[in-house]
Structure 1
Amino acid sequence: MIDTHAHIYLEHFKDDLDEVVKRAQDNGVEKILLPNIDGSTIESMLDLEKKYPDICYPMIGLHPCSVKEDFKKELQLVEEWLGKRNFLAIGEMGTDLYWDKTYWEQQKDAFHFQCELALKHDLPIVVHCRETIDETIDLVKVYKNQNLRGVFHCFTGSVNQGKQITELGFYLGLGGVSTFKNGGMDQVIPHLDRRKVILETDSPYLTPAPHRGKRNEPSYTSLIADKVSEFLNLSIEEIDDLTTANANELFFPTKK
């Protein structure tokens, strides 16, 4: 399995990181993909890649909740890093109106800037969209004929929204909410394009049942896989194969 979205470079994991990575491997997770947040997280993320090569893979991007007055400087930093070395994707980027609506226009500007970077460097984008899924679908539609690709991370939308996203060629990241008793995803996942679903934890956030309220970690990818297999009426082995193939198609297209 591949955990396509985990922030295990954060302080939440400073005391037991080796154990966290080992548990992930013991639970069948062979790769952990690391979305960046902003300039303050790049060093710790790249340190993690050095410590666990061939397991941890970094992305570069500016999270919408970090879009403030200085967002253009942050975007310049993203662009500079893309000129220095390879990254797996542009992310975590996107839009968010849950916490703060102050910088909505700047969030859209940052979104388009990072889409252009993705096209220039031929990379997928990893899209955060909290309380903004329809608006973000519209932002992506601008690039419909430009072969922009990526994933809507933490997908919790409707069947119709999922259909719009996959018809744009994008993937759907399924995480801990899929396991929530009243999360509503049991009514959505069975109707999604299974060729476009991938697994993620968003560690340390959105911990799946039965561990809600505790720190999330990549080993819990297996719990999400179990629930998705139930909704899609596939065996756990089939879900492992399916979602790993999908993740490889998006993030490691030369390693099919």
Structure 2
Amino acid sequence: MNFIDTHTHLDGEEFNADRNETMQRAREAGVSHVFIPAIDLKSVETVLDTCRKYPGYAYPMLGLHPEEVRADWSDVLDQMHEYLKPGHPFIAIGEVGLDYYWSREFEHEQLMAFERQVEWSIATRLPLMIHCRKGQNEMVQMLRKYKDELPGGVFHCFTGNEHEAEELLQFSNFVLGIGGVLTFKKSHLPEVLPATVPLSRIVLETDSPYMAPVPMRGKRNESAYVRFVLEKLAKCYGVDEQTVADTTNDNVKRVFGTLNT
């Protein structure tokens, strides 16, 4: 049984000491591909370097994370855009979006940076990998302007309620990224997802090294642990694990295109 981790920061320094071993554990667990988002200008190179070392297995995404948006956001994006030359290796624009959890200091800048990267997605036909925390109203309002033009994407790390899920599912080419939060004791996702979200609108992710699922909670997360998310989804939807793997793999291919297998 094979499945895909659609969001992991395996280029991060947290994996410098054992990246090869981490990748091997992922393969042994059944992970057939990993998708790695850039979060700022510096990380574009670490993401590309990591993906070059694991060809056909690790795939890069290009984006400026909302928490990394500062006053110089426009210059940073100009430099990032230089990477989108013909023949580039990126499979998505991400990790992009809005995050007002800690601060709204750069609220306007985040909105402008997000919109420019949405325009990149439309121009390149690359899907979006969207991070949104405490900004769903603003995000949805933004995306509605481009609803008929968007190529699709992932609403990464969905943890919302039924209303929020329904609001996101109106974007027909998008899926919800589900990770370790699904397994947490106080999570409402085991009830929300089967009631609102078809399995055909879900992809698996870890967001490693963050948010490790139960029974690994509190440890450094890694791609191999996406299997625990898959197992929990199977129980929530009352289907076997192979069905979750096959369906989420099909969803990935629909959003991101055909991958090397």
Q: TM-score, normalised to structure 2's length?
A: 0.95
Q: Is the 8 A contact 1:39 1:74 kept in 2?
A: yes
Distance across 2 between alignment mates of 1:255 and 1:31 = 9
1:86, distance to aligned residue in structure 2 (A)? 3.0
Which region of structure 1 is more displaced relative to structure 2, 83-92 or 121-130? 83-92
AA aligned opposite 1:120: A
- Mapping of 1:85-104 within 5 angstroms? 85-104=88-107
Distance across 2 between alignment mates of 1:237 and 1:214 = 27
The match for 2:181 among 169, 177, 182 is 177
Q: Is the 8 A contact 2:56 2:260 kept in 1?
A: no
Aligned residues: percent identity? 38
1:181, distance to aligned residue in structure 2 (A)? 0.8
The match for 1:82 among 81, 84, 101 is 84
Q: Is the 8 A contact 1:229 1:236 kept in 2?
A: yes
Q: Which ranges of structure 1 fall in alignment gaps of 5 or more residues?
A: none
1:193, distance to aligned residue in structure 2 (A)? 2.1
Q: Is the 8 A contact 1:248 1:255 kept in 2?
A: no
The match for 2:50 among 48, 51, 56 is 48
Instruction: Tell me the matched-pair count.
Output: 256
AA aligned opposite 2:164: Q
1:255, distance to aligned residue in structure 2 (A)? 7.1
AA aligned opposite 1:181: K
Q: Is the 8 A contact 2:26 2:223 kept in 1?
A: yes
Q: Is the 8 A contact 1:199 1:224 kept in 2?
A: yes
Distance across 2 between alignment mates of 1:47 and 1:151 = 24
| C-alpha RMSD of the superposition | 1.4
What SS class does the counterpart of residue 81 from structure 1 fall into? coil
Q: What residue is the counterpart of 1:163 in the other structure?
A: 166
Q: Does residue 200 of structure 2 align to residue 195 of structure 1?
A: yes
AA aligned opposite 1:62: L
Q: Is the 8 A contact 1:94 1:136 kept in 2?
A: yes
Q: TM-score, normalised to structure 1's length?
A: 0.97
